[in-house]
């Protein structure tokens, strides 16, 4: 059967209809991509700043709901992503070879000074690394004014404890000694750690600048070897102690996850990170 000829006027009408429908179809697909819940979980130290990022993201896509399960720790966040229970994980440690083998992908989004902080109101506190080891070993027990120091510890497997163990052999021995002493206070999550540091008189422990700022914690950061923790001192290398934060995604991220990641690394997302005490690497052109 011979094909019917389509007259130019009919062809123009068809093209006009398609041009009108295409944006509607594309809009429908995009709208579908940005409906539903986005579940984010992992290390509690990242919750304060990531909540702010999520709120800004929701202003762009108001139909999305973002859920933050209770602090799961870095390992819990990674496991949650790999199991499909979370869309995004928050980690303060590198992925293991086994986790990468299962398809986990880590995207670093910032570094924040890891600081010794205190609830003590007396000024002029400055410790050397050797003196910090003496604090943990129990040789130094009080502040300069005689007030007792109450160390707040983290579990042996926690990333903050791993950081302390790596500082020096003397520090590693002192930390293990502190963990073995009776009556020591151990905080199991980043939020428990922050709450305990604020509540106990004379408390001292470790926290990132990003958690301090984003959660508006009433604690005083302490200089180490006469260097104050800040983004400037971290950037210059003068202050060497920091924690690196990453977002963990699975092998097949959804369009909504990809859009969140794009927002996180955008100018708007980077501004939120920087304002909350995270040193963000300059985006490559």
Domain that holds residue 106: 37-111+244-275
Give me the CATH number covering residue 152: 3.40.190.10
What average pLDDT score do residues 2-20 get? 53
76 within a domain of the structure (yes/no): yes
What is the three-class DSSP state of 44?
helix
- Predicted confidence (pLDDT) per residue in 83-116, tens digit: 999 999 999 999 999 999 999 999 999 999 999 9
Torsion of CA 111, 68, 154, 204, to 10 degrees: 70
Q: What's the start-to-end Cα distance of the chain, in Å?
A: 57
- Predicted confidence (pLDDT) per residue in 213-229, tens digit: 999 999 999 999 999 99
* Cβ atoms of 204 and 166 closer than 8 Å: no
Of residues 140, 141, 165, 138, the one with CA closest to residue 154: 165
Are residues 91 and 152 located together in one domain of the fold?
no
* Cβ atoms of 274 and 106 closer than 8 Å: no
Given a cut of 80, whether residue 138 has pLDDT beyond it is: yes
Are residues 180 and 257 located together in one domain of the fold?
no
- Predicted confidence (pLDDT) per residue in 143-198, tens digit: 988 999 999 999 998 989 999 999 999 999 999 999 999 999 999 999 999 999 99
Are residues 226 and 119 located together in one domain of the fold?
yes
18 within a domain of the structure (yes/no): no
Number of domains in the chain: 2
């Amino acid at each position: 059967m011979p094909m019917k000829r389509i007259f130019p006027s009919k062809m123009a009408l068809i093209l006009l209809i398609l041009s009108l429908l295409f944006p509607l179809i594309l809009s429908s697909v995009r709208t579908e991509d940005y409906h539903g819940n986005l579940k984010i979980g992992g290390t509690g130290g990242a919750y304060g700043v990531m909540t702010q990022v999520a709120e800004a993201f929701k202003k762009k896509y108001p139909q999305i709901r973002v859920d933050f399960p209770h602090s799961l720790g870095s390992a819990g966040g990674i496991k949650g992503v790999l199991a499909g229970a979370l869309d995004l994980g928050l980690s303060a440690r590198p992925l293991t070879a086994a986790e990468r083998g299962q398809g986990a992908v880590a995207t670093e989004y910032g570094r924040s000074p890891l600081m010794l902080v205190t609830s003590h109101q007396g000024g002029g506190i400055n410790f050397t690394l050797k003196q910090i080891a003496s604090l943990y070993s129990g040789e130094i027990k009080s502040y300069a004014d005689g007030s007792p120091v109450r160390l707040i510890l983290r579990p042996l497997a926690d990333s903050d404890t791993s950081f302390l163990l790596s500082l020096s052999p003397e520090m590693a021995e002192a930390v293990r000694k502190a963990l073995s002493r009776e009556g020591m206070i151990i905080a199991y999550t980043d939020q428990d750690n922050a709450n305990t540091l604020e509540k106990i008189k004379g408390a001292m422990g470790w926290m990132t600048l990003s958690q301090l700022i984003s959660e508006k914690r009433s604690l005083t950061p302490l200089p180490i070897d006469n260097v104050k923790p800040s983004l400037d001192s971290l950037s210059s290398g003068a202050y060497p102690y920091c924690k690196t934060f990453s977002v963990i995604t699975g092998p097949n991220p959804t369009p909504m996850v990809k859009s969140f990641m794009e927002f996180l690394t955008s100018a708007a997302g980077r501004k939120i990170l920087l304002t909350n005490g995270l040193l963000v690497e300059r985006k490559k052109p």
